[in-house]
Chains A and B, each alone.
Chain A
């Protein structure tokens, strides 16, 4: 490669200033990456989508408030989760409208799966705080159910 094939410091500075300019004039909409991630999750799992139908003290990702109690509803199930933060982790207690369903708790670099008891209750300790979504399997529908991402 010839030297004149490479960008020099001035090019790099001009491009960095250009990125700063457009980042200011037309910023990426809040939550865009999360919405893309959600669409990907749904497609990868060929999943049914649950929506947030009730929330108390809850911030969908991007807000600063932490989730306290939140209900997700899809055509086949409802899922209610309550969270109790302890430092950097949180305990999640939940209830799903289908006893014996498996609930996968998915964080950025951590996930675990628990099975709800016959009445649909489950709990998970030491969930890292931050963005999390849930995938419910073994419910009445054939497809898994995926929730939007919320902040723990």
Chain B
């Protein structure tokens, strides 16, 4: 397969950066912004807090990125850092107002958010919402990553897939089973 995964592209950009081409960090930002956004938001970060957590992770990378010797590790390193930073900010979130707290999307029963979904997406969303919350968070994040990074990301989010068993893990298996039992899916 010659198609580059997101992990490949991220590793390549980060290697270029470590080799001294500072502009490659911009490519890394472009490649990983959706993944990091959904990482922070999967932990219920309000928008400003999510942005702050992601920014802190990037600044940590600028300070100490040369300590990451395996370029492939940069993806899970950033996911872990964003998640930890989100939790740290949430713990001291006294400085966030109620209106910030209201901004936690996706609001599960927000009719406006659902109105823009296709029928198929609405069906999928119903099955995802029926999963344990940690599964919802994990699936949301790995959907924006690539396969070689799933195990590291699952561990980072506190849902280790384990050394035994298929890579897809428990959460994806549950979702597949639910979809397989839904006659309206795949039609």
A: residues with CB less than 8 A from B are 4-7, 10-11, 14-26, 28-29, 32-33, 35-37, 39-40, 43-44, 108-109
Q: List CB contacts (< 8 Å) of B18-58 with chain A.
A: 22-23, 25-26, 29-30, 33-34, 37-38, 41, 47, 51, 54-55, 58
A54 to chain B, nearest CB (A): 26
CB contact under 8 A between A35 and B51, given known A43-B62, A44-B22: yes
Are A5 and B167 touching (Cβ within 8 A)? Answer: yes
Are B58 and A18 touching (Cβ within 8 A)? Answer: no
Q: B125 near A: Cβ within 8 Å?
A: yes
Q: B166 near A: Cβ within 8 Å?
A: yes
Are A39 and B23 touching (Cβ within 8 A)? Answer: no
In terms of DSSP, what is the predominant structure of the interface of chain A?
helix
Are B143 and A22 touching (Cβ within 8 A)? Answer: yes
Contacts of B25 in A (CB 8 A): 37, 40
Q: B68 near A: Cβ within 8 Å?
A: no
Are A25 and B106 touching (Cβ within 8 A)? Answer: yes
- A5, A23, A24, A39: which contacts B59 (Cβ < 8 A)? A39
How long is the Cα–Cα vector from A24 to B34 in the complex, in angstroms?
12
Contacts of A40 in B (CB 8 A): 25-26, 29, 58-59, 62
Which range contains the number of B residues in contact with the other chain?
A: 35 or more
Q: B179 near A: Cβ within 8 Å?
A: yes
Interface pairs (17), CB distance under 8 Å: A6-B167, A7-B167, A11-B172, A14-B172, A15-B142, A18-B139, A19-B143, A21-B117, A23-B34, A24-B117, A24-B121, A25-B105, A29-B47, A37-B29, A39-B58, A40-B62, A43-B63
Q: List CB contacts (< 8 Å) of B119-138 with chain A.
A: 120-121, 124-125, 128
Contacts of A23 in B (CB 8 A): 34
Contacts of B175 in A (CB 8 A): 14, 18
Q: B101 near A: Cβ within 8 Å?
A: no
- A22, A24, A32, A108: which contacts B33 (Cβ < 8 A)? A32
A30 to chain B, nearest CB (A): 11
Choose among A16, A26, A44, A108 the residue with the greatest number of B CB atoms under 10 Å from its CB.
Answer: A26
Choose among A33, A37, A43 the residue with the greatest number of B CB atoms under 10 Å from its CB.
Answer: A33
CB contact under 8 A between A33 and B121, given known A7-B168, A11-B168: no
